[in-house]
Amino acid sequence: MRNHKTLSISFTEALKKKLLGWAQQFGEVIWLDSNQYQQNHSSFQAILAVDAFTAIKTDSYGAFKKLEEYQSTTKDWLFGYLTYDLKNDTEQLKSQNFDGLQFPDLYFFQPKKVFLFSDTEVEIQYLHMVDDEMESDWQEILNFKEHQDRTNAQLSTIKIRLRTSKDSYFEKVHKMLHHIERGDIYEANFCQEYFSENVHLNPIKTFFHLNDISKPPFATFLKMQQYYAFSASPERYIKRTGTKVISQPIKGTAKRLANSQEDKKMVDALRKNPKERSENIMITDLVRNDLSRFALKGSVEVEELCKVYTFEQVHQLISTIRCEVDENFSSVDILKNTFPMGSMTGAPKVSAMKIIEELEDTKRGLYSGAIGYFTPHGDFDFNVIIRSILYNKENQYVSYSVGGAITANSIPEDEYEECLLKAKAMREALEQTH
């Protein structure tokens, strides 16, 4: 089905810029970059997929069934996204909040051209219909020169606004705490949107600026026609390799400090912080429960609990939960049984999602959804869309959202400060690129 070719390369920042610059000629582009962050479970340093041969785009109604049909009949590389609002397909829920971005709820494509990168090699896989372009495309990439973007002169100053005022945020967090006191939920992820209208973005510059600030292990540049996502996500949602499935929820955040001794103390304080640990442990438990729906009996185990991982902007607590599944168990059913991811919902999951819908002001859409891929053999890997800028070029609307876990121990002022910390990189990337 595909013609393969492997070439030796030096995987540099300059090559990344050439690849993404060259890719912009296509209507569908996904670039996934680990930024050489040493994750135990990485398969590739980076992947580029471009130019849809086939695609599926749908609202949430019956979305997982449609994706199952598409994935099982195509049996090829598929790249795309799942929005948070697919919750309405897995449970009796609805999404009625304001939506400035208007992304389809689910969008995947089968690329004509795929590039798989390690540090020293690239494996190029082209569908037979275009495999005669393999040599010339690679030469084009190597010779690609960044054109001076003539639209720069017209790029307006971006004025970022909040959908939820500070006073309203505190009021809503208190309502959430009341739900916790009543026993409706133990924990819920409460999010707020920052947005700007009439925006003309330079997508590549915005992505690279965000990536340079954050250097995350699950960086993503997504272009699906007019829909764009620039993600600096540190979080893996779920990955399947054969019969092994892992999920790596993040809960627990502390800021980085310039002084290395003070920064080490911050790591130690985060590792021991009872509030942050309890947030993580509650979600780890929820993920274990989700995985046990389809795991082989007795195979669900916690590989790492509350391990501190350090990123450019923040330290985070990450847990790794794994299980074994029957080799014939459907990959899409694994996603359906675990979606949306517990780290972005709360516990119990359905109650948390109902309260989130009632209190948040914005439809989440792709924020707190996932971007990733299926391999031809049905393996998959998806990130969690956090620390991300979303852009509808047609509507000229740009948005990023941030949130945090509200538990019985939450102090609203501290939660608000955490939101500002998480929002910093996206605000900087937008304001300083223009």
Q: Of the candidates 350, 309, 337, which has an alpha carbon nearest to the alpha carbon of residue 245? A: 337
Q: Of the candidates 239, 231, 325, which has an alpha carbon nearest to the alpha carbon of residue 35? A: 231
| Beta partners for residue 248, in sequence order | 236
- Name the architecture of domain 2-433: 4-Layer Sandwich (3.60)
Q: In whole angstroms, what is the distance from residue 336 CA to residue 63 CA?
A: 10
Pairing status of strand 250-255 against strand 314-324: antiparallel
| Beta partners for residue 82, in sequence order | 106, 370
| For the chain, domain boundaries | 2-433
Q: In whole angstroms, what is the distance from residue 203 CA to residue 86 CA?
A: 26
Q: In whole angstroms, what is the distance from residue 313 CA to residue 210 CA?
A: 11
Q: In whole angstroms, what is the distance from residue 124 CA to residue 388 CA?
A: 28
Give the total residue count for the chain: 434
First and final C-alpha spacing in the chain: 43
Query: H helices within 203-306, ranges in order?
Result: 203-214, 260-272, 274-292
Could you tell me the two tokens for 38? 């040493």
Instruction: Quote the pLDDT of residue 312.
Output: 87
CB atoms within 10 A of CB 10: 8
Q: What's the pTM? A: 0.95
3-state helix/strand/coil string of 183-227: CCCCEEEEEEEEEECCCCCCHHHHHHHHHHHHCCCEEEEEEECCE
Give the DSSP H or E segment for 230. strand 227-233
CA dihedral 322, 328, 331, 336 (to 10 degrees): -90
Could you tell me the two tokens for 108? 């995947």
| Beta partners for residue 228, in sequence order | 223, 391
Residue 26's Cβ-side half-sphere holds a number of Cα atoms within 13 Å equal to 24
Is the backbone of residue 368 left (phi > 0), alpha (psi -120 to 50) or beta? Answer: left
One DSSP character per residue, 73-121 reads HH-S-EEEEE-GGGHHHHSS----SB-SS---SEEEEEEEEEEEE-SSE
Instruction: Quote the pLDDT of residue 156.
Output: 62
Answer yes or no: are the C-beta atoms of 410 and 403 closer than 8 Å: no
What are the average pLDDT values for consecutive 10-residue runs of the chain, which has 434 residues?
A: 93 95 98 82 90 98 98 98 98 96 98 95 97 96 76 65 96 97 95 96 95 94 98 96 96 91 95 93 95 97 95 91 97 97 94 97 98 97 97 97 93 93 91 73
R_g over Cα of the chain: 21
Which 8-state DSSP code applies to residue 300? -
Q: In whole angstroms, what is the distance from residue 256 CA to residue 267 CA?
A: 9
Q: In whole angstroms, what is the distance from residue 269 CA to residue 106 CA?
A: 40
Q: Of the candidates 14, 228, 191, which has an alpha carbon nearest to the alpha carbon of residue 107? A: 228
Contacts of residue 423, defined as CB under 8 A and 6 or more positions apart, other chains included, come to: 194, 400, 402
Instruction: Quote the pLDDT of residue 434.
Output: 63
